[in-house]
Structure 1
Amino acid sequence: MAWNRSRAKYGNRKVVVDGITFDSKKEAQRYTELKLLEKAGKITGLQLQREFELIPAQREHTNEIYEKGPNKGRFKPGKLLECKCSYIADFVYWDGFEMVVEDTKGMRTKEYIIKRKLMLYKYGIRIKEV
């Protein structure tokens, strides 16, 4: 049986608020709450979808050197072996002098749990799950 409509893996539906598309109703609702808190002056510097690099890209070692251009004298990057691994936070904001990293979670995947642990290990940041 063929379906015309695609379904999200975890049953969530995309929602648009202020011209921004969110992955779920829960995430859109949290955005609305945070915007109100920012307007009231309780939080500052609200950012959406901020990326944190957890593991840099792994490249093959090379002895080739650039001979001209802005990188003259530097080593050329080798062949890409592994892409970087990064965590993209739903929301990042400042609560006083503390940076808060928030993620609206409906389902904790194994991948998310590993990235949460790497965030704590590399940056000392505990992700606030809403």
Structure 2
Amino acid sequence: MSKYNARKIEYKGNVFDSKVECEYYQYLENRLHIDGFDYIELQPRYELIPKFGKQRKAEYIADFALWNGNQLVEVIDVKGMATDTAKLKAKIFKYKYQDVKLTWICKAPKYTGKQWITYEELQKIRRERKKEK
């Protein structure tokens, strides 16, 4: 069990960190070739800061990378809640890999009626709901 009470789940021989992450993988499987990608890479790693001296390297480990042939199309992370560390790593990733689209995805039917929305959309909806109260 993780710090957010998510349980690992196995699907087609792959282990996912949560049920929601596995559900999004299944969604991506159904979108193969439709949305301009033909391969889903699991848990891709991107170096943010190299190892130096006794310091370990810092990496951004995403949930998925979408590829079309040899072209990286998009990097995706499924988020329920973003920690300060995750936000900082995402900023460094976006700075270092400016040609790569990074998307944080959330499952939010309660708020929107949609199955999947971006984390930014979810934050906007939450702010609007808070203003209404």
Fold match (TM-score > 0.5)? yes
Aligned to 1:15: 9
Is the Cα contact below 8 Å between 1:46 and 1:94 reproduced in 2? yes
Relative to structure 2, which stretch is displaced further, 119-128 or 24-33?
119-128
Asked if 1:127 corresponds to 2:121, the answer is no
Ranges in structure 2 where 5+ consecutive residues have no aligned partner: 106-133
Identity of aligned residues (%): 36
Q: Distance in 1 between matches of 2:41 and 2:52?
A: 28
Aligned to 1:24: 18
Is the Cα contact below 8 Å between 2:73 and 2:101 reproduced in 1? no
Q: Distance in 1 between matches of 2:83 and 2:92?
A: 14
More helix per residue: 2
Is the Cα contact below 8 Å between 1:22 and 1:28 reproduced in 2? yes
Ranges in structure 1 where 5+ consecutive residues have no aligned partner: 1-6, 60-80
Is the Cα contact below 8 Å between 2:67 and 2:73 reproduced in 1? yes
- What SS does structure 1 have at the residue aligned with 2:67? strand
Closer/same/farther in 2, CA of residues 16 and 8 from structure 1, 3 Å limit: same
Q: More relative contact order in 1 or in 2 (CA 8 Å, sep 6+)?
A: 1
TM-score normalised to structure 2 length: 0.69
Q: Distance in 1 between matches of 2:88 and 2:66?
A: 23
Residue 35 (structure 1) shift: 1.2
Residue 127 (structure 1) shift: 1.9
